Amino acid sequence: MKLYWPIGLSKSMPNRTSRGELLDETLRDYTRHVMGPDVEVEIGWLEKTTSLLTSTYLGMINDVHVINDILKAEARGFDGAIVGGHWDPGLYAAREAAEIPVAGPGESAMMLAATLGRKFAMLTVMDGYVPVIENNIRTYGLEARAITRNPVRKFGMTYENFVRCLEGKDDEFLVAFEKTARECIADGADVVIAGGQLFGPAFVRHGFHTIGNTGVPVIETTACGLKFAQTLVSLKRSIGLKKSEHIHAPFHTPPRDVLNEVRATFGLS
Amino acid sequence: MKLYWPIGLSKSMPNRTSRGELLDETLRDYTRHVMGPDVEVEIGWLEKTTSLLTSTYLGMINDVHVINDILKAEARGFDGAIVGGHWDPGLYAAREAAEIPVAGPGESAMMLAATLGRKFAMLTVMDGYVPVIENNIRTYGLEARAITRNPVRKFGMTYENFVRCLEGKDDEFLVAFEKTARECIADGADVVIAGGQLFGPAFVRHGFHTIGNTGVPVIETTACGLKFAQTLVSLKRSIGLKKSEHIHAPFHTPPRDVLNEVRATFGLS
Amino acid sequence: MKLYWPIGLSKSMPNRTSRGELLDETLRDYTRHVMGPDVEVEIGWLEKTTSLLTSTYLGMINDVHVINDILKAEARGFDGAIVGGHWDPGLYAAREAAEIPVAGPGESAMMLAATLGRKFAMLTVMDGYVPVIENNIRTYGLEARAITRNPVRKFGMTYENFVRCLEGKDDEFLVAFEKTARECIADGADVVIAGGQLFGPAFVRHGFHTIGNTGVPVIETTACGLKFAQTLVSLKRSIGLKKSEHIHAPFHTPPRDVLNEVRATFGLS
Amino acid sequence: MKLYWPIGLSKSMPNRTSRGELLDETLRDYTRHVMGPDVEVEIGWLEKTTSLLTSTYLGMINDVHVINDILKAEARGFDGAIVGGHWDPGLYAAREAAEIPVAGPGESAMMLAATLGRKFAMLTVMDGYVPVIENNIRTYGLEARAITRNPVRKFGMTYENFVRCLEGKDDEFLVAFEKTARECIADGADVVIAGGQLFGPAFVRHGFHTIGNTGVPVIETTACGLKFAQTLVSLKRSIGLKKSEHIHAPFHTPPRDVLNEVRATFGLS
Amino acid sequence: MKLYWPIGLSKSMPNRTSRGELLDETLRDYTRHVMGPDVEVEIGWLEKTTSLLTSTYLGMINDVHVINDILKAEARGFDGAIVGGHWDPGLYAAREAAEIPVAGPGESAMMLAATLGRKFAMLTVMDGYVPVIENNIRTYGLEARAITRNPVRKFGMTYENFVRCLEGKDDEFLVAFEKTARECIADGADVVIAGGQLFGPAFVRHGFHTIGNTGVPVIETTACGLKFAQTLVSLKRSIGLKKSEHIHAPFHTPPRDVLNEVRATFGLS
Amino acid sequence: MKLYWPIGLSKSMPNRTSRGELLDETLRDYTRHVMGPDVEVEIGWLEKTTSLLTSTYLGMINDVHVINDILKAEARGFDGAIVGGHWDPGLYAAREAAEIPVAGPGESAMMLAATLGRKFAMLTVMDGYVPVIENNIRTYGLEARAITRNPVRKFGMTYENFVRCLEGKDDEFLVAFEKTARECIADGADVVIAGGQLFGPAFVRHGFHTIGNTGVPVIETTACGLKFAQTLVSLKRSIGLKKSEHIHAPFHTPPRDVLNEVRATFGLS
């Protein structure tokens, strides 16, 4: 099985020179760790990207290309895809446009969280993702499973302390995560979803899977999204499970010829 | 006061040769009728457009350009804008990106409907808008004010019978509208929102403002959107009312330099 | 266009001797500032009033007369009305009884707030309004757009520090407002609605339109109510927009003869 | 124990000459049947009343006097009260103003219904009560326990066929009730609440307590309201249970001196 | 009238040797105090019980026997029953299996609370009851009437300080209760439900019925459950009120022969 | 990986002599088809069972033993489990008691459905499951993703026409399923969940995976439950994902010694 993961970033994002290679290598290892030998995950990089993904408008400009890449991956024979980050950028549009199953890391993590506890909270890395993810919770219909007061919160990480954590130098990153997680727990959370594409490898390295002495599990979104995509592909093969193509379904595939014509018109494809 | 209305269409949409001019002229008359002499409304046309606006992905490709045009209108001195059609394409992204007030025709109509009755239904022109508008109702938080069973329904119009109605030749279009409206009323609606950018002129021509013998008003979205935009501009001037720029607000304006840089990078502006 | 605003108070309320004249003059200036030269706003005073408007029962006794005054204003040729204060006293009953559009200051502010941010909170001046306004949020169906924990809060103003603020002597009133507003923001609010009939003039005088350094706008209800009423009257003229007269609509107008007979029976009119 | 039931009507309502005496006698018998010998129920009649109780505004004029009568009953030593009809006219205002427990027939029936089945529907006698009761369901927070599609419906009774039923002449009234009840059951109801002050005696006479062959119970509101009031009085005596007097509670009693002064001012008491 | 109250405990629970007798005597006195001379309440003890009732699985094992005892009580001629504690163990199953009315102490208290204030909170004695009761609130459909942030909270009692309170030695137990209750009030509660089977006698002894200086009533669940059961039995006698036997109702009684056969097979009865 | 599936039935259920063997063989084949060679699924049969699983009380008696068998399977080295049928009997209790992941077929299908369309409906085989599954939807917090009017419906199958379908003799069973499914689609469903433990093999045999000409997928619950359980086990191994052990989590594992002691006391284990 081949899954495509367009990460929504370009390797040469401004001011973060080393990020691309680090991300690429670390994430490859992590996806192999999570998915095992039977599933191949290709990480897709954008040629150019916006430097501010928290903006709805700038994110949309980006998503147009991310989804275009998913359509190309579909044509190249991939079996399924997940969309970039924990805020599920372009998820509903991608799921509509493609015929292969598309999972959202955030959506998958929330669905799993709803089977592991009573109420979840999601931590994120930038303030701008807060309203995006809060709206996702509502779109997915899961308000009753998230804490009511500020279910999405930014925690005080920096890119630098994250890298130190990833390299095993110190755990300030985890300390910052725990601090905000404990505030969520005081407000009723019994499951915490960790929003950040690179977090998985750091958590595995430090064996960080629960908030100490609380019993509250920490859910990493990428692993959830990939496993969810695998499940959808597997059920498609065995029992023909597919997205709804009802005319009122949000994921009804547009006619392929129209889709391709428009992509051509707008310089995509 | 100058308002910009990017209609989200190009004048030369495939297979609908006469549509552009008819739309342009009819809508100009209508906006003058609704807004009076003190408000100037400029209707914006796209150079190129997708031929299928019901698709989330294709709509997104379109919206990127519509919003770009709103940003240009802002630079040209416009005071406010509304986004194209009754399904509020790109509303939240436009409102975020621009600093001038941006109203949604559908959102405005729903907010007004919530003050005119108990539960509304919205009629639309294509099946593909049904899930989009249903999700809008949820995003706007108005589920409790819409009927519970299928609050958004397509009615059986054709472009041809609409044009005949607009030209005063017959009223098959209104008959079709009423039929579906009455089904909504049986399911609890006491207000009906009419989704269609050109409907206003036809309704005015036929004096069609309620569903006969039911007392149920018919709300036309464009007029609502324009008046809402005017109200927002007016309150901005008198009492400084503006969108929230809180870091967790969905409409927090991205830094202008980043916005312009990204637009340049992606061939917009 | 002529709008009627029955303020719900009498000029000679007990223990507040100077209030009536101050209110009258200040509010006249403010409505002119907000509405411009084309809209005339008449402020209506009651002959006698209860001295405790936070009480549901006493408020009801008052509202009977307020609504009666709206019906008289309708007969005198007014085009629309708003009901007194930010807690929308008697709004639904007034909207039902009158045929001219009736807006609620609180309702209008909440509807506008829902287009400016994600979640609002409302500050009020007396504890007794808290449950009234919380029930309004629910009646309007906007729970999802208000913060979940205590969406309505009293702040620590006194009539004296308000007057000093209005006269430009100091800004203790604004300091008290900000303090509670910031607590709401910590609980998730990105828009704050200011409940108090006289607040607008004080805010304008001090240029107080956002909570400093938060980007959170402060919405004044009277201006919103008046602009909303103007919009409804304007749309009634241009596109025939009216409240629902469906037999199941909450605003279905009672037969005029019955209405007048009952008013006569009970010494109203 | 003495309970007061202000029925919200005057004995000489226009065009219904015989109604007052019939009601009075029938309801006395019924309350004795339901409450047994230990509870005395006094039925209160208004001197004058509006002829249209479905109107929110006219109802309000009425309720001012009904609640005044409850306050007088309290002063006369009554232990509790219920408000008139199944649409709970003035319930929240009465409960606030009085210190004795006040139950609502509709509220009580809905609370009991929520323990007897999964989803209820309420049948009513006039279209105008539909929005009132739907709003009550929302105020009481019981939407999840009522059917979603049109939870309140008028059924096709006439006063004449009701009287024939009460007198045992025929059962057309019950046939009409059952017809609408079965439609509600098809939409998911498993409990039906019967809204009508006189229905209890007719139901008892005909042994009409379920919808035939469906297992769905029919709940009569007056009996529920009286028993609920008795329960509240009894728990007040044994364990001191009382309404909330918190400053943010909707039922916080206004100061007695203010209340009495206002009543005097407005010619009540 | 005879009511059965299976308390869900055995007299000889491990490590709490004196508890059984104390409970039995105290509760007998309390039920007589609450119910008066006309209602006989039999307290039912289990022969064996699990030592951890907060566990869903262990509670289920217990409930099988508790419900069996209710069925036996029904056969012995009891008129109604309540299920053990404030978390309503086995309520829906008991109500289904039995034909006599079965009330839940927690459910009854919540329904009453919803008529006494705006938003309630429930205090409980062990952490494990928190998710159980939160799910009950949702099952009963009363989320809108409970505070949103942590509506169910454990307070810091010990069995020892409870006993001292019951014996009138000190009131540390009440102090602990008040502390947590005040936190709930700060989060919006205006009614507090006290979850604990023995609390009633202690409250009565100390005249503890409100949280001092807040006006917030304290609702004791056992008294509510018993009065609710009495009301249901009484209405069954006077107006035939019964649980829904609709095939889709959650309380549809299983065929008696099947029920008895299964009980025999599994060594119950 | 080894998964345990206690099917909740005994092989010799009354009046269905051939059922046990047919079920066993058919389901073995199906689980191999769905799960592939790397996952071993053991189907667990009860020694004795109730003959009416739709009853909440009788189901509870059964579930006590089903969960006991899951605990035994855990001790025997199984990695995960699913609970019997599409109504998730005993799911929350099983998930609490066991430390291995436990999935619910219905819960898993609903979570997946929420990613495939907008609103689902679930078809079931007996009326008695309707309230159980409706309550599950509420417990899982997915009301917003199910149709509002009667989201759970029985369809007109018989065991006989199911068997004929399974054997390829005719498709009356599928015709009956489609009929009810189309009614759900008319009420807004764009995904249909098929509730029935044996349905998968019949669907695969007939290639029945969508409702013809509607684009609506049919989701079979057993396959979903098994894949969900596999995902949970896999994520436990790779990233340590586990249920919440927070003291307020519904799945907090009871102390093992208490659990085993109680099982011994009650003749389980």
> pLDDT of A16-30, one tens digit each?
555 677 778 899 999
> pLDDT of B107-152, one tens digit each?
999 999 999 999 999 999 999 999 999 999 999 999 999 999 999 9
> pLDDT of A231-249, one tens digit each?
999 999 999 999 999 999 9
Q: Quick one: F112 and F204 in the same domain?
A: yes
Residue B8 falls inside a structural domain: yes
Q: Chain F closest CA to A61's CA: distance in Å?
A: 24
Whether the Cβ atoms of residue A123 and residue A87 lie closer than 8 Å to each other: no
Q: How many domains does chain D have?
A: 2
For residue F269, the model assigns a pLDDT of 76
For residue D16, the model assigns a pLDDT of 52
Whether the Cβ atoms of residue F196 and residue F129 lie closer than 8 Å to each other: no
Q: Quick one: E120 and E47 in the same domain?
A: no
For residue D18, the model assigns a pLDDT of 57
Task: State the chains in contact with A (3 or more Cβ–Cβ pairs under 8 Å).
Answer: B, C, E, F
- Residues in F lying within 8 Å of B, measured between beta carbons: 118, 144, 147-149, 187-188
Run of H or E including F27: helix F19-35
Residue whose C-alpha is closest to residue F31's, from F161, F200, F213: F200
DSSP class of B117: -
Task: List the beta bridge partners of residue A218.
Answer: A192
pLDDT band at A13 (very low <50, low <70, confident <90, very high): low
Q: Chain A closest CA to F116's CA: distance in Å?
A: 4
**Do chain F and chain C touch with ≥3 beta carbon pairs under 8 Å?**
no
| Nearest-Cα residue of chain A relative to residue F212 | A246
Tally C-beta pairs within 8 A across A and C. 13
pLDDT band at C13 (very low <50, low <70, confident <90, very high): low
**CA-to-CA dists, residue E99 to A84, B175, E74, E241, F58, angstroms:** 56, 54, 8, 12, 15
Is there a contact between A97 and B130 if contact means CB atoms under 8 Å apart? no
Which of C142, C143, C147, C148 to probe by mutation at the A interface, max A CB count within 10 Å? C148
**Do chain A and chain F touch with ≥3 beta carbon pairs under 8 Å?**
yes
> pLDDT of A76-129, one tens digit each?
999 999 999 999 999 999 999 999 999 999 999 999 999 999 999 999 999 999
For residue B269, the model assigns a pLDDT of 75
Is there a contact between A61 and B96 if contact means CB atoms under 8 Å apart? no
Q: Cα(F269)–Cα(F265) distance, rounded to whole angstroms? A: 10
Does the pLDDT of residue C15 top 70, yes or no? no
Chain C residues with CB under 8 Å of A149 CB are 147-149, 187-188
Q: Quick one: A54 and A115 in the same domain?
A: no
Residue whose C-alpha is closest to residue C208's, from C161, C153, C166, C159: C166
Q: Cα(D77)–Cα(B39) distance, rounded to whole angstroms? A: 65
> pLDDT of C163-205, one tens digit each?
999 999 999 999 999 999 999 999 999 999 999 988 999 999 9
DSSP class of B7: E
Which of D133, D137, D147, D149 to probe by mutation at the B interface, max B CB count within 10 Å? D149
Is there a contact between A187 and E149 if contact means CB atoms under 8 Å apart? yes
Is there a contact between E149 and A144 if contact means CB atoms under 8 Å apart? no
pLDDT band at B13 (very low <50, low <70, confident <90, very high): low
Q: Give the sign of the dihedral formed by CA D187, CA D193, CA D198, CA D199.
A: positive
Whether the Cβ atoms of residue D5 and residue D42 lie closer than 8 Å to each other: yes
Cite the DSSP H helix spans in chain B: 19-35, 56-75, 91-97, 105-116, 129-139, 159-166, 172-186, 199-206, 221-239, 256-265
Does the pLDDT of residue A218 top 90, yes or no? yes
Between C25 and C221, name the one with better pLDDT.
Answer: C221
Whether the Cβ atoms of residue D45 and residue D189 lie closer than 8 Å to each other: no
Q: Quick one: A124 and A207 in the same domain?
A: yes
Does the pLDDT of residue E102 top 60, yes or no? yes
Chain F residues with CB under 8 Å of B149 CB are 147-149, 187-188
Does the pLDDT of residue B25 top 60, yes or no? yes
Is there a contact between F188 and B138 if contact means CB atoms under 8 Å apart? no
For residue F39, the model assigns a pLDDT of 98
For residue B16, the model assigns a pLDDT of 52
Q: Quick one: C117 and C249 in the same domain?
A: no
DSSP class of F37: T
For residue F203, the model assigns a pLDDT of 97
Tally C-beta pairs within 8 A across A and F. 184
pLDDT band at B18 (very low <50, low <70, confident <90, very high): low
- Please tell me whether residue D119 adopts helix, strand or coil conformation: coil
Residue B228 falls inside a structural domain: no
Does the pLDDT of residue F118 top 70, yes or no? yes
What is the percent of chain B with per-residue pLDDT over 90, rounded to a whole number? 88
Which of A27, A41, A102, A116 to probe by mutation at the F interface, max F CB count within 10 Å? A116
**Structural domain that includes position F199:** 106-222
Closest CB to D149 among B118, B144, B149: B149
Q: Quick one: A134 and A60 in the same domain?
A: no
SS3 content of chain A, % helix, strand, coil (to 5): 50, 15, 35
Q: Quick one: D89 and D143 in the same domain?
A: no
Residue B233 falls inside a structural domain: no
Q: Cα(B11)–Cα(B13) distance, rounded to whole angstroms? A: 6
Task: State the chains in contact with E (3 or more Cβ–Cβ pairs under 8 Å).
Answer: A, C, D, F
Task: State the chains in contact with F (3 or more Cβ–Cβ pairs under 8 Å).
Answer: A, B, D, E
- Cβ neighbours of residue A43 closer than 8 Å, sequence gap 6 or more: A5, A7, A24, A27, A28, A31
Chain B residues with CB under 8 Å of F149 CB are 148-149
Closest CB to A239 among F34, F111, F248: F34
Between C19 and E144, name the one with better pLDDT.
Answer: E144
Pairing of strands C2-10, C40-46: parallel
Q: Cα(B161)–Cα(B172) distance, rounded to whole angstroms? A: 6
Q: Is A80 exposed, middle or buried (0-12, 13-18, 19+ CB in 10 A)?
A: buried
Is there a contact between E245 and D215 if contact means CB atoms under 8 Å apart? yes
Whether the Cβ atoms of residue C79 and residue C40 lie closer than 8 Å to each other: no
DSSP class of B146: B
Q: Quick one: F12 and F96 in the same domain?
A: yes
Chain E residues with CB under 8 Å of F14 CB are none
In sequence order, what DSSP letters do the residues of chain E get, joined into one string?
-EEEEEEEEETT-TT-TTHHHHHHHHHHHHHHHHH-TT-EEEEEEESS--S-TTSHHHHHHHHHHHHHHHHHHHHTT--EEE-SSTT-TTHHHHHHH-SS-EE-HHHHHHHHHHHH-S-EEEEESSTTHHHHHHHHHHHTT-GGGB-SS-SEEE----HHHHHHHHTTS--HHHHHHHHHHHHHHHTT-SEEEE--TTHHHHHHHHT--EETTTTEEEEEHHHHHHHHHHHHHHHHHHH-------TTSTTPPPPHHHHHHHHHHTT--
For residue A18, the model assigns a pLDDT of 57
Which of A52, A53, A56, A67 to probe by mutation at the B interface, max B CB count within 10 Å? A56
Q: What are phi and psi of F96, to 5 degrees?
A: -70, -45
Dump strand ranges (E) for D195-235. 210-211, 216-220
Instruction: At F201, list the tokens.
Output: 């093999």
Whether the Cβ atoms of residue E194 and residue E205 lie closer than 8 Å to each other: no
- Residues in D lying within 8 Å of F, measured between beta carbons: 118, 144, 147-149, 187-188
Q: Cα(D197)–Cα(D41) distance, rounded to whole angstroms? A: 15
- Please tell me whether residue F54 adopts helix, strand or coil conformation: coil
Question: How confident is the prediction for chain B on average, in pLDDT?
Answer: 94
Residue whose C-alpha is closest to residue E196's, from E145, E234, E236, E156: E156
Q: What is the ipTM of this complex?
A: 0.96
Q: Quick one: A135 and A192 in the same domain?
A: yes
Between F13 and E62, name the one with better pLDDT.
Answer: E62
pTM of the model: 0.96
Q: Quick one: E99 and E111 in the same domain?
A: no
Q: Quick one: D219 and D186 in the same domain?
A: yes
Q: Quick one: E166 and E230 in the same domain?
A: no
Q: Chain E closest CA to A115's CA: distance in Å?
A: 14
Q: What is the CATH number of the domain that holds F251?
A: 3.40.50.1860
Between E47 and A155, name the one with better pLDDT.
Answer: A155
Whether the Cβ atoms of residue E70 and residue E6 lie closer than 8 Å to each other: yes
Question: How confident is the prediction for chain A on average, in pLDDT?
Answer: 94
Which of B50, B56, B153, B253 to probe by mutation at the A interface, max A CB count within 10 Å? B56
Lateral strand order in the sheet of B120-124:
B152-154, B120-124, B191-194, B216-220, B210-211
Instruction: At C116, list the tokens.
Output: 């400016």
pLDDT in tens, chain D (269 residues): 999 999 988 876 544 545 677 778 899 999 999 999 999 999 999 888 887 899 999 999 999 999 999 999 999 999 999 999 999 999 999 999 999 999 999 999 999 999 999 999 999 999 999 999 999 999 999 999 999 999 999 999 999 999 999 999 999 999 999 999 999 999 999 999 999 988 999 999 999 999 999 999 999 999 999 999 999 999 999 999 999 999 999 999 999 999 999 999 999 97
> pLDDT of B255-264, one tens digit each?
999 999 999 9
DSSP class of A55: S
**Do chain C and chain D touch with ≥3 beta carbon pairs under 8 Å?**
yes
